[in-house]
Amino acid sequence: MKNRLKVARAEKDLTQEDLAKLIGVSRQSINAIESGRYVPSTVLALKMAQVFGKPVEELFLLEDDD
């Protein structure tokens, strides 16, 4: 799974720490998700979509091997 969190964060001018606080996780979790080492739960993905005002599909994209 690919994600566009970094870009979305840059557009909104949010740091990892800011985003983490907004959705109630640690900065490390945001880092792990952005780097593709951790796939977030649906709840977390929806919360991020809410923060960025975008549909989930614009933040997270399936890859061929998923």
Partner 1 sequence: MKKNYLFPHQFRVIGWVLVIVAVVGYLCLPEFQFKMPSLYFDTFFDDENEGGFFRMARTNSLSIAMVLLTIGLLFIGFSKEKVEDEFVHYLRAQSLIWATYVTAALFIVATLLIYGITYIYVPYLVFYIFLILFIMKFRIEVHRFNKGGAQ
> Burial letters for 25-47: b for 16+ Cβ neighbours within 10 Å, e otherwise?
beeebbeebbeeeeebeeebbeb
Q: Which residues bind partner 1 (CB under 8 A)?
A: 15-17, 20, 24-26, 28-29, 31-35, 38, 40-41, 43-44
Task: Name which of 3 and 16 has its Cβ closer to partner 1.
Answer: 16
Cβ closer to partner 1: 5 or 52?
A: 5
Minimum distance, C-beta of residue 32 to partner 1, in the bound complex (Å): 6
Rounded Cα gap, residues 24 and 11, in angstroms:
21
